[in-house]
Structure formats: structure tokens, C-alpha cells
Amino acid sequence: MRILHVSDLHYKESPETWTLLKEAGRQFAMLRPDMILITGDLTNDGLDEQFYGVKRFINALDFCTVLMIPGNRDQARTIIPAAAERSDLEYFLLTHPEPVTLLDEIDAIEDVNHGRQGKFFDHFQGTEFFYRANGVAAVGLNSEPDITPRQLDMMVQHFNKGRPGEYRIFCAHHSFLPVPTKKLKPGDVVPRSADILQTLIELNVDLLCCGHIHRSHVWELSDGRHSLLCCNAGSLLDTSGKKDNGFLEIEIEHDLRIVKRTLFSHRTEVLYHRPHFGEILRSRQQVSGVSGVSTDENAAPHLLTTASVTNTNEGRAKSKKAKGKK
């Protein structure tokens, strides 16, 4: 099994950017992955013309399943002036174009995507995905501005209706842990990240994929019973020369290897290597009776961005009620 983790395209209309994006598609096709995970910031400003270019690129990835979620850049409702050019009131009015009342805030908690999708829904089916096929279960949640308790409940329901031996993946745009050499800013890390990480481990999730901070890194977390790999991908198209660019290749054969592939220079760097994990996963799936045949109504041969979630009473873990804003 080969998975490509891609994040932070920040696509904007220019001949140079489109050329780089086509080169990325060429490299993806050569690697022939089973799945590509795109963890947000597909566009630079959330504009229609930028979404058109990204969608054209994604539609060309017809050799594998593509799962994606938006980032904060994809949900911009307007182009906001620089801080020096606006007052605090002007900034608030630009970023909050509709009046907000207490009842509106309550509704926003109840409706997962209310006011959180910007133009993303105009071009893609949804801001979340819930996927299960061929022994893999994956969930992607919109983390802008945070991950709500209801979203976590949906995640728990999806993983709990599967079997313990499946390979479980969780995706969000924002990071969950600090990364070496990166000075974090407010909003870089998902609120209540420690509680969510603990829930993922309790759910036997194997792989967490996120981006946002434009740094490639892999952390391994464990509670002594189960290990979770936390993968940050760099920016695919960053040309500043100051940040990581490229994508992550996650390969599970006899071993598990996570390799950073640099788009421009074609350099590779092994970020993580776990011997014999492929054998462990296969035996885990055999014991649990996980088949290699798709049995989930959410599975599709190519582009998957959203799916319905069915309630279940087969829960093995419950999401913690987060202490968030009311």
C-alpha cells in the first residue's frame, strides 16, 4: 500500500504555478499510489479561479483515490487588507460579514459546516470525508477554526462501525504538535489537540496527517498499548526557499516507511522506518477478519470528499466532551 500525503498547495493563477502543479501530478503518477490525501489550503486566497485550477489538477489524478479537506485559506470570504491598512473594527466586519447572535453561535456548534466552508462547497462536495475500503478507514475533518464536539462524535461513529484490524487514518489541516525549527503562531495548533490525540489512540488510529505549518516531521505517540504516527507535510508548491516543499510518501510493504520527497530537487529523506509493520498489519487484519474487498457505501474509485455517516451502537470509545467555547 502506498499513500501520498500532500498539503498546502496555496495555488494561485500563474504559468509558473501551473507548471509546478503539473510536475507534481507527473511525479504522483510515476509513484502510482493507492491513495492521495490532501490536507487543506488547496488555494492561496479561496478564489473561484484558483479553485478551477486546483480542480483541474485533481481531476487528472484519475489513477487513484483522492481524499481532501479544506484549509483556512480555502475558506476566505474576501481578500483582507494588510493589518496596517485597517482598523480593528474594519477587520472584524471583513471577517464576520454577517451579524452574530448567541443563537447563531449555538446553531454553529450544532451544524458542523455552518459558516465554515467559504467557496469550497461551490467546487467540491463537502468539507469532511468518511471513507472505508480495502482494509483502510479514513476520516478527514474541517479544523478551521477548530474541531467541534459533534465532528468528533461523527469520527468516533465511523471508526467504531469498522473492525479493529483495519488501517485507520485521520486527517485535519492544522497541526497537533510543535515541530522542530518552527516557531508557532496562535492558531497553528488545533485547540484541545491533546484530548483529540488521546481519543485517536483510544480508537486505534494508526496515522494522523496534517499540514498548515509548512514543515515536514513525524512524531510517534503511544499509550503503551497502541502507537499513533503524527505526520506533518510541508507545502507542496512553496517557492520561498525558507520552508519545506514537497510531499510525504507513506509505504507499507514488509516495513513501514515515511519518506519526504522534495518536488523541485527530487531529493528524498526517510523520516520514519518501522521494520516488519506490513507483516504485523496483515496478521492483525487476518485475526480481525478484515477483507480486502470494499464493503462500505462511502467507497468510490476516485474522488471522495464527503459521505454520510450512519449512527451505530457498537462504540468502543466515546469522544471526550471538549471544554470549548459555548
Query: How many CB atoms within 10 Å of residue 134?
Result: 18
User: pLDDT for 26-62, tens place per residue?
Assistant: 999 999 999 999 999 999 999 999 999 999 999 999 9
The mean per-residue pLDDT over the stretch 92-113 comes to 43
pLDDT at 82 over 80: no
- Domain boundaries defined on the chain: 2-304
Phi, psi at 136, each rounded to 5°: -120, 135
Tell me the three cell numbers of residue 158: 465511523
- pLDDT at residue 88, as a whole number: 53
pLDDT confidence bin for 326, thresholds 50/70/90? very low
**Average per-residue pLDDT for the chain:** 82
- pLDDT at residue 102, as a whole number: 37
Helices 15-31, 48-59: axis angle to 10 degrees equals: 30
The mean per-residue pLDDT over the stretch 120-126 comes to 87
User: pLDDT for 71-80, tens place per residue?
Assistant: 999 986 544 4
User: pLDDT for 246-256, tens place per residue?
Assistant: 999 999 999 99
Query: What's the CATH code, domain 2-304?
Result: 3.60.21.10
pTM over 0.85: no
Higher pLDDT, 97 or 271: 271
pLDDT at 313 over 90: no
Per residue in 268-281, is it b (16+ CB within 10 Å) or e — as a string?
eeebbeeeebbeeb
Strands (E), 10-54: 35-39
d(CA 261, CA 23): 13
Tell me the three cell numbers of residue 324: 470549548
Question: For 157-166, 277-286, 289-298, which range has the lowest pLDDT when averaged over its residues?
Answer: 289-298
Contact 157, 173 (CB under 8 A): no
User: pLDDT for 168-212, tens place per residue?
Assistant: 999 999 999 999 989 999 999 999 999 999 999 999 999 999 999
The mean per-residue pLDDT over the stretch 16-30 comes to 93
2-6 vs 35-39, strand pairing mode:
parallel
Residue 81 DSSP code:
P
Helix (H, G, I), strand (E, B) or coil at 194: helix
Tell me the three cell numbers of residue 23: 510536475
pLDDT at 129 over 50: yes
- pLDDT at residue 87, as a whole number: 52
Tell me the three cell numbers of residue 206: 494508526
